[in-house]
């Protein structure tokens, strides 16, 4: 499909469902379920419905961290939600996330099972539930949450903005690529300044802020997101690269980042994760 360059906006927008692009078949301007289907429930206290995107792996990394810290209550089943096939619009998924986006979690360890959606809210829920990976001191905790919310507000410019127009849009639009490349580089520079003076994002200790930010910006500078490391000259951000490599070396991160991924020629992946032994390849 070709787009007119002399486009002017009509008085009222109407949905052109054949708008092309990688996500054309799942985009729709309405909320709610499209089909009846219950979600599967496994044997563990925590049930995760997700896919191995940057937002998805935040949660599997967090759960692997909690298990490594000895919290058996963090055992989980990770079910694949195929967003390109519309699984996020099933009645069961919409019940646990009315916004139809992965990741979504249900905690069955409590009397009335609790749903949690939005990756930042899930990270915070798990950090508070297990009292891990979030500073206890109010001052440091506030810094940690500031960066967590920074990530939640910033990543849509990187993913929905830069990544979409650089990699997925059916046509390369210079204005859009320029606008979002500028913003992606500015955000990387924000992180580089921060990490020049601090070992981890919220200070001296590794926290949910690192997990959230690494999943997007760490993977970007490691060349795993949008194949854009060269295009964005990520070598200009040495502190981000050093921090990204250090986190990448954690065994918990190596486990968490391969969960709910499609088969890959370059590294082992897990479509679903139900037990620690699933990682024994
Ligand atoms: N702010 C949300 C964003 C979640 C999100 O955008 N998820 C994407 C995959 S990374 C998704 O489910 N997309 C499916 C769709 O847009 O229909 C979060 O952080 O949880």
User: 10-residue block means of pLDDT along the chain (281 residues)?
Assistant: 76 78 78 97 98 98 98 98 96 98 98 98 98 97 98 98 96 96 98 98 97 98 97 98 98 98 87 96 89
Note the CATH architecture for domain 31-133+258-281.
3-Layer(aba) Sandwich (3.40)
Q: Ligand 1: which residue has its CA nearest to atom 15?
A: 101
- Is the Cβ atom of 26 under 6 angstroms away from ligand 1? yes
Q: Write out the two tokens for 31.
A: 């909320």
User: Ligand 1 centre from 31 Cα, in Å?
Assistant: 14
User: How far is Cα 116 from Cα 93, in angstroms, rounded to an integer?
Assistant: 12
Closest atom of ligand 1 relative to the 51 alpha carbon: 9
The 3-class SS string of 266-277 reads: CCCCECCECCHH
Q: Are 89 and 34 in contact (CB under 8 A)?
A: yes
Residues of the chain with CATH 1.20.1050.10: 138-249
Residue of 23, 25, 90, 101 to mutate, ligand 1, most atoms within 8 A of C-beta: 101
Of 45, 48, 50, 47, which is closest to residue 72 (Cα–Cα)? 45
Beta bridge partners of 268: none
pTM, two decimals, is 0.96
Contact 122, 105 (CB under 8 A): yes
Residue 100, ligand 1, Cβ within 6 A: yes
Cα separations in angstroms, 162 against 120, 165, 188: 21, 5, 13
Q: State the distance from the centre of ligand 1 to the C-alpha of 53, rounded, in angstroms.
A: 9
Spatial neighbors of 14 by CB under 8 A, at least 6 apart, are none
Rounded to the nearest angstrom, the distance between the alpha carbon of 54 and the centre of ligand 1 is 9
Evaluate the CA torsion angle 176, 178, 182, 188 in order and state its sign: positive
Tokens of 89: 């619009």
Q: Is the CB of 88 under 6 A from ligand 1?
A: yes
Ligand 1 pocket mutation pick from 23, 49, 55, 160 by most atoms within 8 angstroms of CB: 55
Name the segment(s) of the chain with CATH classification 3.40.30.10.
Answer: 31-133+258-281
Ligand 1 probe mutation, 94, 102, 152, 211, most atoms within 8 A of CB: 102
Span 138-249: which CATH code?
1.20.1050.10
185-208 burial string, b = 16+ CB within 10 Å, else e? Answer: bebbebbbebbeeeebbbbeebbb
pLDDT of amino acid 39: 98
Residues in CB range of 274: below 8 A, 6 or more apart: 42, 43, 44, 77, 78
Ligand 1 site, residue 191, Cβ cutoff 6 A: no
4: left (phi over 0), alpha (psi -120 to 50) or beta: beta
């Amino acid at each position: 499909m070709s787009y007119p360059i002399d486009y002017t906006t009509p008085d009222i927008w109407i949905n052109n469902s054949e708008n092309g692009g990688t996500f054309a078949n799942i985009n729709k301007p309405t909320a709610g379920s499209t089909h009846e289907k219950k979600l599967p429930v496994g044997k563990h206290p925590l049930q995760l419905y997700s896919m191995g995107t940057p937002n998805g792996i935040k949660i599997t990394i967090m759960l692997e961290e909690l298990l490594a810290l000895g919290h058996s209550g963090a055992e989980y089943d990770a079910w694949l939600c195929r967003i390109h096939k519309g699984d996020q619009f099933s009645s069961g998924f919409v019940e646990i996330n009315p916004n139809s986006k992965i990741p979504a979690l249900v905690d069955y360890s409590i009397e009335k099972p609790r749903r949690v959606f939005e990756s930042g809210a899930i990270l915070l829920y798990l950090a508070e539930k297990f009292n891990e990976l979030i500073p206890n001191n109010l001052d440091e905790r506030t810094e940690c949450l500031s960066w967590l919310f920074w990530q939640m507000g910033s990543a849509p410019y990187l993913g929905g903005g830069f990544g979409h127009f650089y990699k997925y849009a059916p046509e390369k639009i210079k204005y859009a690529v320029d606008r979002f490349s500028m913003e992606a580089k500015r955000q990387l520079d924000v992180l580089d300044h921060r990490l020049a003076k601090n070992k981890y994002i919220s200070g001296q200790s590794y926290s949910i802020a690192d997990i959230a930010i690494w999943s997007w910006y760490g993977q970007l500078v490691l060349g795993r997101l949008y194949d854009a490391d060269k295009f964005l000259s990520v070598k200009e951000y040495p502190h981000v690269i050093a921090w990204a490599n250090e986190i990448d070396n954690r065994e918990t991160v190596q486990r968490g980042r391969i969960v709910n991924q499609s088969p890959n020629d370059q590294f082992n992946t897990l479509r679903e994760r139900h037990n620690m032994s699933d990682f024994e390849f």
